[in-house]
């Protein structure tokens, strides 16, 4: 008989309570600090600049000073009836350097912090219908919820079942949704530490199109690409604070 110790995860996600749902929706609706009729051009501008930061031009050529050789003057300046030449690595010579050739470039376009903040908050507001409030459940606590779901092996099918339960409680049809639609789970840095090392986190690794993101690492690309966004109340608070906490967000 196999006597190996089976460990259970301490935390996994569950559907948010009605109070948490109301809190998240009110944070996204009332704490944005701008008119609902603002244009979306800032979202387009911020996303285009975000894509440019991912561009890397690797094409590289050598200039006259970088090509090896050519340190000696080929011939005397005068007396031979030839054109003057100072180096065999001149761009005019075969095997010489290249004039105005491409060099590696890392694009780092500038975007004002308040413009990025405006675009980020506008996008969160427009994605309200796709946002699902969730919370973390502590399996170590003795509760009625823990009895039927106290054991979750670190397998993909059990992690899928957890996500299906969350979606069903929010009246979302789950026919071929998981694995085909992009889901993003947003948690705070503190909540991520609780999930780290759990069997739930191990089980969701093999689910395609599922991202688990900390709120301080959330980008416009995560929000735009997501069909459904699962967010905790604490993360919604961090993302809509008035103390400009978005400055900590990696652009």
Neighbours of 104 (CB within 10 A): 9
Query: Measured between alpha carbons, how far is 201 from 187 in angstroms, rounded to an integer?
Result: 13
Backbone phi, then psi, for 8, in 5-degree steps?
A: -105, 150
Q: How far apart are CA 179 and CA 184, in angstroms?
A: 12
Distance between CA 135 and CA 230 in Å, rounded? 9
Does the global pTM surpass 0.75?
Answer: no
Neighbours of 122 (CB within 10 A): 20
How would you write the pLDDT of the chain (251 residues) with one tens digit per residue? 444 444 445 678 888 888 888 888 888 775 455 555 456 788 888 888 888 888 888 999 999 989 998 888 999 999 999 999 999 999 999 999 999 999 998 887 777 877 888 888 888 888 888 889 998 887 665 544 444 444 456 788 888 888 888 888 888 877 777 878 889 999 988 888 888 878 888 888 888 888 899 988 888 888 888 889 999 988 888 888 765 555 554 54
Query: What's the burial of 182, exposed, middle or buried (CB within 10 Å: 0-12/13-18/19+)?
Result: middle
Main-chain dihedrals φ then ψ at residue 123, nearest 5 degrees: -65, -40
Cα angle 62-67-68, degrees, rounded to a multiple of 5 = 155
Q: What is the pLDDT of residues 193-215, one digit of tens each?
A: 888 878 888 888 888 888 899 98
- Neighbour count for residue 210 (Cβ, 10 Å): 19
């Amino acid at each position: 008989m196999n006597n190996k110790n089976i460990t259970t995860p301490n935390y996994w996600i569950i559907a948010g309570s009605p109070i948490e749902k109301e809190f998240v929706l009110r944070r996204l609706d009332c704490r944005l600090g701008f008119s609902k009729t603002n244009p979306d051009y800032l979202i387009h501008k911020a996303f285009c600049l975000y894509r440019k930061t991912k561009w890397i031009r690797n094409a590289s050529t050598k200039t006259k000073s970088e090509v090896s050789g050519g340190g000696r003057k080929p011939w005397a300046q005068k007396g031979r009836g030839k054109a003057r030449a100072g180096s065999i690595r001149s761009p005019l010579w075969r095997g010489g350097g290249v004039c105005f050739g491409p060099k590696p470039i890392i694009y780092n376009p500038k975007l004002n912090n308040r413009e990025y903040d405006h675009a980020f908050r506008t996008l969160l507001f427009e994605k309200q219908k796709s946002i699902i409030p969730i919370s973390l459940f502590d399996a170590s606590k003795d509760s009625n919820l823990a009895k039927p779901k106290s054991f979750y092996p670190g397998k993909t099918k059990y992690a899928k079942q957890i996500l299906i339960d969350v979606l069903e409680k929010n009246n979302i049809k789950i026919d071929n949704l998981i694995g085909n639609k992009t889901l993003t789970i947003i948690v705070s840095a503190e909540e991520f530490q609780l999930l780290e090392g759990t069997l739930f986190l191990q089980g969701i690794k093999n689910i395609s199109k599922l991202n688990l993101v900390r709120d301080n690492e959330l980008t416009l690309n995560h929000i735009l690409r997501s069909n459904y966004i699962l967010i905790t109340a604490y993360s919604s608070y961090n993302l809509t604070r008035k103390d400009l906490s978005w400055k900590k967000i990696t652009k």
